[in-house]
Amino acid sequence: MLTPFFKVNKLIFLDILTHQTTCHEERINMKALTLGIFWACALFLITGIFSAQHVDASENKVLNIDPAGVQKLIESDSCPVIISFVTARCRACREEMPVYQEMYDQFKDQGLEIFLVSIDFAYSQPIQNIVDQLNITYPVFWGGDQVMYAFDISLVPYKMVIQNGKVVDTVIGAWSAREIEEKVTQLMATCAK
């Protein structure tokens, strides 16, 4: 016959065994959950990588772009093309955006292409907020640090001026509204020839 002390310990021992079985089942469920999350993330990244290489941007929507996508923008047959690399924290970048919008509205039917590429770390929401606030309609992309490193960009605003698929000028720093207007007018005259 078991003494009450041993009966209690036997119940505690059985409870521990039962709990270990539950923990084992939880570990199996946790593994399944982790595996499910892994595959969901992998699928998201794979579809994101393929869509990032597509360079058509809808109005007022920031799309992801990778270095290969930026290279496609550079190799565009459009004349002229201005690609401005920016961050949401950059005051000079924000000040240039409405001027680019004016130039885009004025010259887009004559072939001017303006692309904004955000190199903000982590995610696109900061630049999307600015695009919404300023009602920017020219194509805006988010490339993050992947694009920043691929094109060796250390200061913003950083601009590439492209004619017929070739970079003809790079500019680090802000342009005034007058400088942007003069540059675009000069580029439009050169491309018209």
List pLDDT tens digits, range 91-144: 999 999 999 999 999 999 999 999 999 999 989 999 999 999 999 999 999 999
Residue 43 confidence (pLDDT) above 90: no
CATH superfamily membership of 62-192: Glutaredoxin (3.40.30.10)
Distance of CA 79 to the CA centre of its chain: 25
Task: Provide φ and ψ at 4, rounded to 5°.
Answer: -55, -35
* Contact in structure between 82 and 160 (CB atoms under 8 Å): yes
